[in-house]
């Protein structure tokens, strides 16, 4: 039986998610408070079920089939509406909820009301891109609980002239190598093979030594992406620090909104 996913919010993220789920065989119901957005999206895409609704009104939610969905995704960009919608979903007893957060304060509020699956689409896309760039010369073939098998292209000058035997240590073991030369063939268990920049090696290392392996074989300019990667979370979440609302601010705002609707 196909699983049904109910998506609330048809911004770029919500629309793309709906199409991807549909392509992968899920039954998808899409909704948005803006009737024009719903009609435009439904007219150009065969989703199957679409609803115009104000998800901040729990009575409106009750009138839909949302409680029958296997999973609900809240992809609303307006933070207050996102939080209030999630509160309503929790009140309706819906267990499988994924919510898109706009910043870390938004995330903390969502988690405080019991939404454990919170995502940052922009941050995760940035991390993925940075990771791809940072690891463009290093492919993880297989990762176990304690060790990792790597294919790595040497981009650092520091190993020029050193051999596979001299480089092997307790930190890693080079078990195959391919010279960057015409008609070169992959050599297994290479003994005393001299290495230089742009040669390719296959090695096994402990998971805790991965950074050391990168430091040894990857050029400094590539390794700078590691630092950038660590900064992504901070930079993507600081839209305007002075205007940032605290968790308490949002919770107080939600309480007022709910009391007005009673």
- CATH at 159: 3.30.70.1450
pLDDT of residue 240: 40
Q: Looking at residue 3, what is its pLDDT?
A: 87
Per-residue pLDDT, 262:
55
> Is 70 exceeded by the pLDDT of residue 132?
no
Q: Is residue 52 part of a domain?
A: yes
Note the pLDDT tens digit of each residue in 50-91: 999 999 999 999 999 999 999 999 999 999 999 999 999 999
Rounded to the nearest 10 degrees, the angle between the axes of helix 220-237 and helix 210-217 is 130
Measure the CA–CA gap between 140 and 243, rounded to whole angstroms. Answer: 42
Task: For residues 118 and 148, state if they share a domain.
Answer: no
Task: Indicate if 97 and 29 belong to the same structural domain.
Answer: yes
Average pLDDT over residues 22-31: 91
pLDDT of residue 227: 47
- pTM, two decimals, is 0.57
Strand partners, 48: 28
In a domain, 221, yes or no: no
Q: Where are the beta strands (DSSP E) in 25-128?
A: 27-32, 48-52, 71-74, 97-100, 117-119
Confidence of residue 134 (pLDDT cuts 50, 70, 90): low
Residues 50 and 88 in one domain: yes
Task: Check whether residue 143 and residue 62 sit in a common domain.
Answer: no
CATH number for 44: 3.40.50.720
pLDDT tens profile 205-241: 998 888 888 888 887 554 444 444 444 444 444 444 4
CA distance 167 to 169: 6
Name the β-bridge partners of 98.
73, 117
Residue given tokens 């709906």 in the structure block:
18
Closest to 216 measured CA to CA, from 195, 188, 191, 189:
195
Nearest to 150, CA basis, from 96, 213, 199: 213
Residues 57 and 148 in one domain: no
Say whether pLDDT at 256 is over 70: no
- Domain assignment present for residue 26? The answer is yes
pLDDT tens-digit readout, 154-209: 988 888 889 999 999 888 999 999 999 998 899 998 999 999 999 999 999 998 88
What is the reported pLDDT for 51? 94
Indicate the pairing of strand 4-8 with strand 71-74.
parallel
CB 130 within 8 A of CB 233: no
- Count of domains in the chain? 2
In terms of residue numbers, what domain contains 197? Answer: 133-210
Summary mean pLDDT of the chain: 83
Which has more pLDDT, 123 or 187? 187
Query: 248 lies in a domain?
Result: no
* Same domain for 167 and 85: no
DSSP SS3 for 52: strand
The more confident residue out of 162 and 120 is 162
Q: Give the long-range contacts of residues 255-260, CB within 8 A, separation 24 or more.
A: 257/56, 257/80, 257/84, 258/84, 258/87
**pLDDT at position 254, please?**
63
Share of the chain above pLDDT 90, in %: 48
pLDDT recorded at residue 241: 44
pLDDT of residue 161: 86
- pLDDT at position 219 is 74
Is the pLDDT reported for residue 250 higher than 70? no
**pLDDT band for position 248 (cuts 50, 70, 90):** low
SS3 percent helix, strand, coil of the chain, rounded to 5, is 45, 20, 30
Looking at the fold, whether 75 and 13 belong to one and the same domain comes out as yes
What's the whole-number mean pLDDT along residues 125-152? Answer: 76
Using alpha carbons, select from 40, 47, 39 the residue that is nearest to residue 18: 47
């Amino acid at each position: 039986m196909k699983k049904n996913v109910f998506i609330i919010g048809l911004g770029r993220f919500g629309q793309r998610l709906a199409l991807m789920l549909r392509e992968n065989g899920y039954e998808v119901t899409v909704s948005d408070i803006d009737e024009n957005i719903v009609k435009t999206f439904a007219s150009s895409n065969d989703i199957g079920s679409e609803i115009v609704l104000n998800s901040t009104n729990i009575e409106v939610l009750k009138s839909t089939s949302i409680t029958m969905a296997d999973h609900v995704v809240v992809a609303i960009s307006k933070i207050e509406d996102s939080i209030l919608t999630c509160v309503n979903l929790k009140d309706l007893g819906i267990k499988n909820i994924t919510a898109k957060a706009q910043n870390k304060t938004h995330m903390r509020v969502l988690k405080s009301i019991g939404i454990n699956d919170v995502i940052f689409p922009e941050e995760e896309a940035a991390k993925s891109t940075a990771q791809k760039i940072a690891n463009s010369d290093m492919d993880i073939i297989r990762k176990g609980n304690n060790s990792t098998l790597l294919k790595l292209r040497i981009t650092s000058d520091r190993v020029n002239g050193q051999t596979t035997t001299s480089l092997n240590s307790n930190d890693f073991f080079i078990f195959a190598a391919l010279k960057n030369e015409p008609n070169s063939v992959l050599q297994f268990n290479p003994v005393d093979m001299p290495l230089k920049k742009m040669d390719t090696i296959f090695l096994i290392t402990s998971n805790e030594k991965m950074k050391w392996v990168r430091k040894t074989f990857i050029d400094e300019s590539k390794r700078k992406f590691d630092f950038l990667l660590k900064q992504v979370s901070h930079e993507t979440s600081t839209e305007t620090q002075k205007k940032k609302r605290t968790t308490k601010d949002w919770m107080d705002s939600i309480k007022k909104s709910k009391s007005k609707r009673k």
